[in-house]
C-alpha cells in the first residue's frame, strides 16, 4: 500500500465511523435482526460495510474482500483482500455504549499488509503498514514495557457463540485474576488489540474469533513491538479462531497458561 492509498483508506474509514456515531444517536430508527446465537446485525452494519467496500474498491480495484456481513462476493484465504469489520462491537452500539470501532485490513493470504482501527466516539484512529510501525492519530505507539503479569492489565472477550471451551476459559480467567492487576472486556476485539498496541493493555486473548475481528489489530500489535500467536504459539491466528497478542515478555507468560487449559480440549 502506497502513501496515497493509505491516506485515502484512512479517510474512508474515518468517514464511515463518524456516520456510525451519528446513527447511534438515532438507535430507535434502526432495523435490527438476529443472524444467529448472540449475533445481532443492524442496517448500520450493512450500510457501513457497503460504504467501505465501495470506497476501498476504488483505491485498489484488484483486491477482493473478506467481510463480516457478506455484502460482496467473498475472497478465498489466499487472495489479496480487504478484511472488513464495519462495526466491531455491534451489541455495544445497539445498547448505546460508545465502545465500538471500524476495523479494516489489507492482507495477502495470512500476511497482513496494512491495518486501520478507528474508534469514532474518541476520535482515535490507529493504523499500521507492514514494516513501517504503528501509529495513533499519526503518533508512533509501542506496546507496554511492563516486566511481568503481576504488573499487567489484560483484555479478553467472553465466548458468545462457541461454548465448548467455556470451562478452559474460566480456568484461564481464574489464573489471570490471581496473577495480574485485572482483566477488562471491552466488547470489541479490534479495540482490545489497538489498546494492546499502544500499551493501555499488556495483553489480549480470545477464542472463537473471525479474520475481520483480528486482522487489523494483530498488525498494530506486531508493528508496535508486540507478539501475536494462536493459543498453540503458532501463527494461525488470522483464520484459526484463537489469538494471544501482548508485549513479548507478557506473551511468554500468558501463552503457557492458556495452552495448558485449552490444550486439554
In CATH terms, is domain 149-262 a member of 3.30.70.2190? no
pLDDT category, 257, cuts 50, 70, 90? very high
Residue 79 has pLDDT above 70, yes or no: yes
What is d(CA 164, CA 175) in angstroms, rounded to the nearest whole number? 19
Comparison of pLDDT for 202 and 24, the residue scoring more: 202
The pLDDT score that the predictor gives to residue 61 is 86
Strands (E), 141-237: 153-156, 182-184, 203-207, 227-229
**Complete DSSP assignment for 25-48:** TTGGG--EEE-STT-EEEHHHHHH
255: closest CA among 111, 142, 149? 149
Q: How far apart are CA 227 and CA 249, in angstroms?
A: 9
**pLDDT at residue number 44:** 79
Tell me the domain boundaries of the chain.
Answer: 3-140, 149-262
pTM over 0.85: yes
**CATH number for the domain formed by residue range(s) 3-140:** 3.30.540.10
Burial class (CB in 10 A: 0-12, 13-18, 19+), 210: middle
Average pLDDT over all residues of the chain? 91
Report whether pLDDT(264) > 60.
Answer: no
Q: Percent of the chain scored above 90 by pLDDT?
A: 76
- The whole-angstrom distance between residue 186's C-alpha and the CA centroid of its chain comes to 11
Answer whether residue 145 shows pLDDT above 70: yes
- pLDDT at residue 37, as a whole number: 46
Residue 265 has pLDDT above 60, yes or no: no
Amino acid at each position: 500500500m502506497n502513501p496515497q492509498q493509505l491516506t485515502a483508506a484512512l479517510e474512508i474509514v474515518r468517514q464511515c465511523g463518524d456516520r456510525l456515531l451519528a446513527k447511534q444517536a438515532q438507535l430507535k430508527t434502526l432495523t435490527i435482526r438476529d443472524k444467529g446465537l448472540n449475533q445481532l446485525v443492524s442496517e448500520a452494519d450493512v450500510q457501513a460495510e457497503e460504504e467501505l467496500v465501495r470506497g476501498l474498491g476504488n483505491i485498489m480495484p484488484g483486491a477482493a474482500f473478506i467481510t463480516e456481513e457478506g455484502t460482496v462476493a467473498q475472497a478465498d484465504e489466499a487472495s489479496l483482500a480487504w478484511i472488513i469489520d464495519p462495526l466491531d462491537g455491534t451489541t455495544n452500539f445497539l445498547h448505546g455504549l460508545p465502545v465500538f470501532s471500524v476495523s479494516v485490513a489489507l492482507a495477502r493470504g495470512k500476511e497482513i499488509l496494512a491495518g486501520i482501527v478507528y474508534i469514532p466516539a474518541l476520535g482515535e484512529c490507529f493504523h499500521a503498514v507492514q514494516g513501517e510501525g504503528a501509529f495513533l492519530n499519526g503518533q508512533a505507539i509501542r506496546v507496554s514495557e511492563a516486566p511481568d503479569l503481576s504488573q499487567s492489565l489484560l483484555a479478553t472477550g467472553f465466548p458468545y457463540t462457541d461454548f465448548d471451551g467455556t470451562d478452559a476459559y474460566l480456568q484461564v480467567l481464574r489464573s489471570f485474576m490471581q496473577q495480574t492487576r485485572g482483566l477488562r472486556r471491552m466488547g470489541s476485539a479490534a479495540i482490545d488489540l489497538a489498546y494492546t498496541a499502544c500499551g493501555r493493555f499488556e495483553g489480549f486473548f480470545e477464542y472463537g474469533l473471525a479474520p475481520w475481528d483480528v486482522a487489523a489489530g494483530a498488525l498494530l500489535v506486531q508493528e508496535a513491538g508486540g507478539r501475536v500467536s494462536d493459543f498453540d504459539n503458532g501463527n494461525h491466528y488470522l483464520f484459526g479462531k484463537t489469538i494471544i497478542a501482548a508485549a513479548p515478555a507478557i506473551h511468554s507468560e500468558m501463552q503457557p497458561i492458556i495452552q495448558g487449559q485449552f490444550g486439554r480440549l
